[in-house]
Chain A
């Protein structure tokens, strides 16, 4: 690794900010900190971070708003830090462009695992990639085919689009609304029933071809995420 990745930690509680700063520094990252939404945006503009760890509750604005503004000029992955009660806020921030979330209080191991996964993903340049490997099953995007070790996985066009959306997101949490809008269209953003049924079927078919059931992971109350085996 040439340069250590630069991580911006945004949290209004000073003790937490310091603890996160030291933890991430010890883990080998360069760390900037901010205590408010305004500071966060200023710092990100001055020193473009490779990743942002963002507390959902800030004194001068919510996480969703920071995500939205940040996304206008930065594609750095955003990891939300939230408490259990913030379900709706969390979904809004994810819809606004955050990549993943972690629930307070969390263990350091869990935090570092998420940070590593997000950084790895953002450095992996797959624009233009036409085949996505899920380990045992490959998705051929231009031909709209899914190939298992023992032959084609037969998917309906909708199921294929759903799998494709999850695969392209590459481990990011996609909220129900995002998936419905992408696969079915803007008019279907609230038809969660449709999404559940198709996800269940898609899982059955992938499982039949040897993929673990949590390849498509349920993020309860939020959405879905596609887990690729490490190293693929």
Chain B
């Protein structure tokens, strides 16, 4: 602090009443009184002693408007003494002779005091107005910097410089979130907004006391708010860029997978149609068997291609459900309808609880889930047993349960059945790609549902699909 020298150029830009040093004020006081005395001495023969008080009054006003109230009052007191000592009789004595002299001396003292107070107030107000104007200008410049599109990082030095100037300092640096070790020096202004510390402004060449002023707090708030604002904006811009990148990459994956799907399926389609045309001719004997083999194996190949594509979609995160309001019984009904009713097939029993609410899912994807579960159950069902499908509600969810009476799944493998290509190591098991349940779970999760394997009382296994019930789900609309 002792190093602090007051540079008058900087001083004009400061916040506090500017000429606050005691030494200059005292000097001004003495100089003013001396000058007034000289003037009065010069004019005394012509002007009556009593009226010469006006000259001292001018001196008091000048000092108080430049150096504040206390300097003004000191000047007034000194002036009263001088006036009394030199010009009011008995001269060269502090005593006052006549009562009239007392009166004029008292009037002078009062006028000087009031005058000092008024002048000091005017000076203070002018100072505050100038400070407010500087703050407004600071706010405007900072806002222009931030709104102008510059990102926070590159705008920060300019912001610090502007803020330092407004506080009367020669230079300033902003440290965000106090990343640099905080120096507990007096020249650090904490930037906070509503109690949240944003960072700090370190100042070089800051006048003493400047940071204690309410104006400094205001500057701190303005700079802090702008930093928060700029940071928020930077975050939004970054998020937008990220979202756009994800969207493009997903769009590309979707197009690629679609092209692959088309390329793989077109030959299959031609094979199946050609074989189908041959089958129309009612071939006999081994020809019929050969044609049927082509047809069956093409269908199997197609299912496999479909499963692999779905798996790729799941793993690339581009399942993108097309959600709509759906009736659970309708989805399950559609999945079951394709798989029952034909002779030689496992019987599928469907049970629907009353008043199951609508759910918001991708109907085609959920139908695949149910279809895969039913296919799986049918595959493991012993002859003569039925697959039981039930729809009901449990807390906050619609539950679709598919249950078979097959050999069941050992507890320690319960979670592994959902892994792609997982097959129970049991040679007697029915063949399959091992993808059905993995796809079912992937599709279920993409739609916000859960798929669980639960123990079925009396053997076999039961898969439960739990579909969340939306708040907005309405059962009755008139």
- Contact in complex: A200, B277 (CB < 8 Å): no
Chain B residues bordering chain A, tally (CB within 8 A): 43
C-alpha gap A127/B269 in the complex (Å) = 38
Contact A109 B276 (CB under 8 A): yes
Contact with A along B262-306 (1 / 0, CB 8 A): 100111111011101101110000000000000100110010001
Q: Which of B67-75, B319-327, B377-385 contacts A (4 or more CB under 8 A)?
A: B319-327
Decide if B277 touches A22 in the complex (CB within 8 Å). Answer: yes
Whether B272 lies near A192 (C-beta < 8 A) is no
Q: Assuming A104-B265, A196-B326, is B334 touching A218 (CB within 8 A)?
A: yes
Q: Which of A26, A85, A200, A213 contacts B258 (CB 8 A)?
A: A85
* B364 contacts the other chain (CB 8 A): yes
B262 touches A83 (CB 8 A): yes
Say yes or no: B358 contacts A197, CB within 8 Å.
yes
- A183 and B334 alpha carbons, distance in the complex (Å): 24
B interface footprint on A205-225 (CB within 8 Å = 1, 0 otherwise):
000000001100010110000
Distance in angstroms from A43 CB to nearest chain B CB is: 20
B327 touches A196 (CB 8 A): yes
Instruction: Report chain B residues within 8 Å CB of A85.
Output: 257-258, 261
Query: In this complex, which of A26, A27, A221 has the most chain B Cβ atoms within 10 angstroms of its Cβ?
Result: A221
A193 within 8 A of B: yes
Q: Which residues of B contact A109 (CB under 8 A)?
A: 276
Cα of A213 to Cα of B333 in the assembled complex, Å: 9
| Interface mask (A79-93 → B, CB under 8 Å = 1, otherwise 0) | 000011101100000
Chain A, residues 21-38, CB within 8 Å of chain B (1/0): the string is: 011001100000000000
B337 CB-CB contact with A under 8 Å: yes
24 contacts between A and B (CB under 8 A): A13-B269, A13-B270, A15-B266, A15-B270, A16-B269, A16-B273, A22-B274, A26-B277, A83-B262, A88-B322, A108-B272, A108-B273, A108-B279, A176-B324, A193-B358, A193-B474, A197-B474, A197-B475, A197-B477, A200-B329, A213-B333, A214-B337, A218-B334, A221-B364
Known contacts A13-B270, A111-B273, then 20 further A-B pairs from the complex at CB < 8 Å, ordered by chain A residue: A13-B269, A16-B266, A23-B277, A26-B277, A87-B322, A105-B265, A105-B272, A105-B273, A105-B298, A105-B299, A105-B302, A108-B272, A108-B273, A176-B324, A194-B477, A196-B327, A218-B330, A218-B333, A220-B334, A220-B367
